[in-house]
Amino acid sequence: MTAGPILDRRAFILANTRLQAPPHTPELRLWLADEVTPIWRLTEEELGEMGLPPPFWAFAWAGGQALARYLLDHPHEVVGKRVVDFATGSGIVAIAALRAGAAEVLASDIDAFCADAVALNAEANAASVDFTDANLLEAPPPPAADVILAADICYEKPLAEQVMAWLRAARDAGARVLIGDPGRSYFPKSGLTPLAEYRVPTTRDLEDAEIKRTGVWALA
Protein backbone atom coordinates (compact mmCIF):
# COMPACT_ATOMS: atom_id res chain seq x y z
CA MET A 1 0.00 0.00 0.00
CA THR A 2 1.37 3.43 -0.89
CA ALA A 3 2.09 5.75 2.00
CA GLY A 4 0.58 9.16 1.60
CA PRO A 5 -0.94 12.09 3.36
CA ILE A 6 -4.45 11.63 4.77
CA LEU A 7 -5.37 8.67 2.58
CA ASP A 8 -9.01 9.03 3.40
CA ARG A 9 -10.02 12.69 3.53
CA ARG A 10 -13.66 11.77 3.91
CA ALA A 11 -12.89 9.82 7.08
CA PHE A 12 -10.72 12.72 8.34
CA ILE A 13 -13.60 15.17 7.84
CA LEU A 14 -16.11 12.90 9.56
CA ALA A 15 -13.73 12.30 12.48
CA ASN A 16 -12.89 15.97 13.06
CA THR A 17 -16.12 17.84 12.42
CA ARG A 18 -19.75 17.44 13.42
CA LEU A 19 -22.95 17.81 11.45
CA GLN A 20 -24.52 21.10 12.48
CA ALA A 21 -26.66 23.97 11.25
CA PRO A 22 -24.83 27.22 10.49
CA PRO A 23 -26.61 29.75 12.75
CA HIS A 24 -27.73 32.07 9.94
CA THR A 25 -29.02 29.23 7.71
CA PRO A 26 -30.66 26.82 10.17
CA GLU A 27 -32.30 24.92 7.31
CA LEU A 28 -28.91 23.60 6.12
CA ARG A 29 -26.67 20.95 7.70
CA LEU A 30 -22.89 21.01 7.25
CA TRP A 31 -19.93 19.06 8.62
CA LEU A 32 -18.18 21.89 10.51
CA ALA A 33 -15.45 22.18 13.13
CA ASP A 34 -16.04 24.02 16.39
CA GLU A 35 -12.53 25.47 16.74
CA VAL A 36 -9.87 26.47 14.22
CA THR A 37 -6.60 25.53 15.87
CA PRO A 38 -7.10 21.80 16.58
CA ILE A 39 -8.25 20.87 13.08
CA TRP A 40 -5.62 23.13 11.47
CA ARG A 41 -2.87 21.51 13.55
CA LEU A 42 -4.19 18.01 12.81
CA THR A 43 -4.29 18.75 9.07
CA GLU A 44 -0.67 19.92 9.13
CA GLU A 45 0.43 16.93 11.21
CA GLU A 46 -1.37 14.41 9.02
CA LEU A 47 -0.11 16.00 5.80
CA GLY A 48 3.37 16.43 7.23
CA GLU A 49 3.41 20.04 5.99
CA MET A 50 3.63 23.25 7.96
CA GLY A 51 2.39 26.70 6.96
CA LEU A 52 -0.75 25.41 5.27
CA PRO A 53 -3.69 27.79 4.85
CA PRO A 54 -6.44 27.36 7.46
CA PRO A 55 -9.01 24.61 6.81
CA PHE A 56 -11.50 27.10 5.36
CA TRP A 57 -13.79 24.21 4.31
CA ALA A 58 -14.47 23.36 7.98
CA PHE A 59 -16.26 26.67 8.70
CA ALA A 60 -19.28 28.54 7.36
CA TRP A 61 -17.76 32.00 6.94
CA ALA A 62 -19.83 35.11 7.57
CA GLY A 63 -19.85 36.02 3.86
CA GLY A 64 -21.03 32.52 2.95
CA GLN A 65 -23.75 32.46 5.59
CA ALA A 66 -25.03 35.85 4.40
CA LEU A 67 -25.03 34.98 0.69
CA ALA A 68 -26.65 31.60 1.41
CA ARG A 69 -29.36 33.32 3.51
CA TYR A 70 -29.97 35.83 0.71
CA LEU A 71 -30.43 33.08 -1.91
CA LEU A 72 -32.76 31.04 0.32
CA ASP A 73 -34.91 34.15 0.85
CA HIS A 74 -34.65 35.45 -2.76
CA PRO A 75 -34.83 32.30 -4.90
CA HIS A 76 -35.63 34.30 -8.06
CA GLU A 77 -31.90 35.14 -8.24
CA VAL A 78 -31.03 31.55 -9.14
CA VAL A 79 -34.16 29.58 -9.95
CA GLY A 80 -33.68 27.59 -13.17
CA LYS A 81 -30.23 29.15 -13.67
CA ARG A 82 -26.75 27.75 -14.27
CA VAL A 83 -24.69 28.86 -11.31
CA VAL A 84 -21.00 28.88 -10.37
CA ASP A 85 -20.00 29.21 -6.71
CA PHE A 86 -16.39 30.40 -6.78
CA ALA A 87 -14.25 29.54 -3.70
CA THR A 88 -16.95 27.37 -2.20
CA GLY A 89 -15.16 26.18 0.99
CA SER A 90 -17.76 23.98 2.74
CA GLY A 91 -20.14 24.44 -0.20
CA ILE A 92 -22.66 26.41 1.86
CA VAL A 93 -23.51 28.88 -0.91
CA ALA A 94 -23.63 26.22 -3.64
CA ILE A 95 -26.00 24.10 -1.53
CA ALA A 96 -28.21 27.12 -0.77
CA ALA A 97 -28.38 27.92 -4.50
CA LEU A 98 -29.57 24.39 -5.26
CA ARG A 99 -32.05 24.52 -2.38
CA ALA A 100 -33.34 27.81 -3.85
CA GLY A 101 -33.98 26.14 -7.22
CA ALA A 102 -30.84 26.59 -9.35
CA ALA A 103 -30.84 24.24 -12.36
CA GLU A 104 -27.20 23.31 -11.81
CA VAL A 105 -24.36 24.49 -9.61
CA LEU A 106 -20.63 24.13 -10.20
CA ALA A 107 -18.65 24.74 -7.01
CA SER A 108 -14.94 25.55 -7.28
CA ASP A 109 -12.14 25.55 -4.72
CA ILE A 110 -8.41 24.88 -4.88
CA ASP A 111 -8.20 23.38 -1.35
CA ALA A 112 -7.49 19.66 -1.53
CA PHE A 113 -10.14 18.83 1.09
CA CYS A 114 -13.00 20.65 -0.59
CA ALA A 115 -14.04 17.93 -3.04
CA ASP A 116 -14.80 15.60 -0.12
CA ALA A 117 -16.15 18.32 2.18
CA VAL A 118 -18.54 19.59 -0.49
CA ALA A 119 -19.62 16.03 -1.38
CA LEU A 120 -20.35 15.20 2.28
CA ASN A 121 -22.19 18.48 2.82
CA ALA A 122 -24.20 18.08 -0.39
CA GLU A 123 -25.17 14.56 0.72
CA ALA A 124 -26.26 15.87 4.13
CA ASN A 125 -28.68 18.22 2.37
CA ALA A 126 -29.79 15.79 -0.36
CA ALA A 127 -28.26 18.15 -2.93
CA SER A 128 -26.17 17.37 -5.99
CA VAL A 129 -23.29 19.80 -6.46
CA ASP A 130 -20.71 19.54 -9.27
CA PHE A 131 -17.21 20.36 -8.07
CA THR A 132 -13.94 21.43 -9.69
CA ASP A 133 -10.55 21.96 -8.09
CA ALA A 134 -9.32 23.84 -11.18
CA ASN A 135 -8.26 27.42 -10.53
CA LEU A 136 -10.99 29.17 -12.48
CA LEU A 137 -9.08 32.46 -12.23
CA GLU A 138 -6.57 31.14 -14.78
CA ALA A 139 -9.11 31.31 -17.61
CA PRO A 140 -11.92 33.67 -18.59
CA PRO A 141 -15.15 33.12 -16.56
CA PRO A 142 -17.24 30.19 -17.87
CA PRO A 143 -19.49 31.69 -20.56
CA ALA A 144 -22.34 29.27 -19.75
CA ALA A 145 -22.82 30.64 -16.22
CA ASP A 146 -25.92 32.79 -15.69
CA VAL A 147 -24.97 33.64 -12.10
CA ILE A 148 -21.59 33.68 -10.36
CA LEU A 149 -21.52 33.61 -6.56
CA ALA A 150 -18.49 34.48 -4.44
CA ALA A 151 -18.51 34.67 -0.66
CA ASP A 152 -15.76 35.85 1.64
CA ILE A 153 -13.00 36.10 -0.95
CA CYS A 154 -11.46 39.48 -0.06
CA TYR A 155 -9.30 38.47 2.91
CA GLU A 156 -5.95 38.71 1.04
CA LYS A 157 -4.95 41.54 -1.30
CA PRO A 158 -3.60 39.62 -4.34
CA LEU A 159 -6.51 37.16 -4.28
CA ALA A 160 -9.10 39.93 -3.83
CA GLU A 161 -7.71 41.94 -6.76
CA GLN A 162 -7.55 38.91 -9.02
CA VAL A 163 -11.03 37.66 -8.09
CA MET A 164 -12.66 41.07 -8.46
CA ALA A 165 -11.12 41.53 -11.95
CA TRP A 166 -12.35 38.04 -12.92
CA LEU A 167 -15.83 38.75 -11.54
CA ARG A 168 -15.99 42.06 -13.45
CA ALA A 169 -15.11 40.15 -16.63
CA ALA A 170 -17.96 37.73 -15.85
CA ARG A 171 -20.33 40.65 -15.34
CA ASP A 172 -19.20 42.22 -18.65
CA ALA A 173 -19.89 38.89 -20.38
CA GLY A 174 -23.49 38.96 -19.10
CA ALA A 175 -23.44 37.01 -15.82
CA ARG A 176 -25.11 38.28 -12.66
CA VAL A 177 -22.45 38.39 -9.94
CA LEU A 178 -23.45 38.20 -6.27
CA ILE A 179 -20.96 38.60 -3.43
CA GLY A 180 -21.21 38.09 0.34
CA ASP A 181 -18.69 40.01 2.42
CA PRO A 182 -18.35 41.01 6.09
CA GLY A 183 -16.18 44.08 5.40
CA ARG A 184 -12.90 42.25 4.80
CA SER A 185 -9.87 44.52 4.32
CA TYR A 186 -9.67 44.19 0.53
CA PHE A 187 -13.36 44.32 -0.32
CA PRO A 188 -13.80 47.14 -2.86
CA LYS A 189 -15.77 50.17 -1.74
CA SER A 190 -17.30 51.03 -5.11
CA GLY A 191 -18.94 49.43 -8.13
CA LEU A 192 -21.34 47.36 -6.03
CA THR A 193 -25.09 47.50 -5.45
CA PRO A 194 -26.12 46.59 -1.89
CA LEU A 195 -28.87 43.95 -1.77
CA ALA A 196 -29.09 42.92 1.89
CA GLU A 197 -27.34 43.34 5.21
CA TYR A 198 -27.35 40.79 8.01
CA ARG A 199 -25.97 40.40 11.50
CA VAL A 200 -24.36 36.99 11.14
CA PRO A 201 -23.56 34.97 14.27
CA THR A 202 -19.95 33.78 14.27
CA THR A 203 -17.41 32.86 16.96
CA ARG A 204 -14.66 34.75 18.76
CA ASP A 205 -12.36 31.89 17.84
CA LEU A 206 -12.88 32.56 14.13
CA GLU A 207 -13.49 36.29 13.89
CA ASP A 208 -12.81 37.84 17.27
CA ALA A 209 -16.49 38.84 17.30
CA GLU A 210 -19.77 37.10 18.05
CA ILE A 211 -21.70 38.95 15.35
CA LYS A 212 -20.38 40.16 11.99
CA ARG A 213 -22.36 42.71 10.07
CA THR A 214 -22.27 41.22 6.59
CA GLY A 215 -23.47 42.51 3.24
CA VAL A 216 -24.70 40.89 0.07
CA TRP A 217 -23.89 42.86 -3.07
CA ALA A 218 -24.35 42.65 -6.82
CA LEU A 219 -21.58 43.83 -9.13
CA ALA A 220 -23.08 46.95 -10.65
Ligand X SMILES: C[S@@+](CC[C@H](N)C(=O)[O-])C[C@H]1O[C@@H](n2cnc3c(N)ncnc32)[C@H](O)[C@@H]1O
Asked whether position 181 contacts ligand X by CB under 6 A, the answer is: no
**Range in contact with ligand X (rule: CB under 6 A) among 75-83, 96-104, 117-125, 133-141:** 133-141
Asked whether position 43 contacts ligand X by CB under 6 A, the answer is: no
Confirm if 109 and 135 have CB atoms less than 8 A apart: no
Asked whether position 61 contacts ligand X by CB under 6 A, the answer is: yes
Shortest distance, position 103 Cβ to ligand X, whole Å:
21
Spatial strand order of the sheet with 104-108 comes to: 130-132, 104-108, 82-86, 147-151, 176-181, 211-219, 192-201
Asked whether position 93 contacts ligand X by CB under 6 A, the answer is: yes
Shortest distance, position 46 Cβ to ligand X, whole Å:
18
Asked whether position 63 contacts ligand X by CB under 6 A, the answer is: yes
The per-residue b/e assignment along 54-66, b for 16 or more CB within 10 angstroms, e otherwise, is ebbbbbbbbbbbb
Asked whether position 164 contacts ligand X by CB under 6 A, the answer is: no
Confirm if 194 and 207 have CB atoms less than 8 A apart: no
Shortest distance, position 211 Cβ to ligand X, whole Å:
16
Residues 69-88 binding ligand X (CB under 6 A) are 86-88
Using CB under 6 A, count the residues that bind ligand X: 25
Burial class (CB in 10 A: 0-12, 13-18, 19+), 150: buried
Q: Identify the residue among 159, 195, 206, 218 touching ligand X (CB under 6 A).
A: 159
User: In sequence order, which residues have a C-beta less than 8 Å from that of residue 66 and are 6 or more positions away?
Assistant: 24, 151, 180, 181, 182, 196, 198, 200, 214, 215, 216
Asked whether position 151 contacts ligand X by CB under 6 A, the answer is: yes
Residues binding ligand X (CB under 6 A): 56-57, 60-61, 63-64, 86-90, 92-93, 108-111, 135-137, 151-153, 155, 159
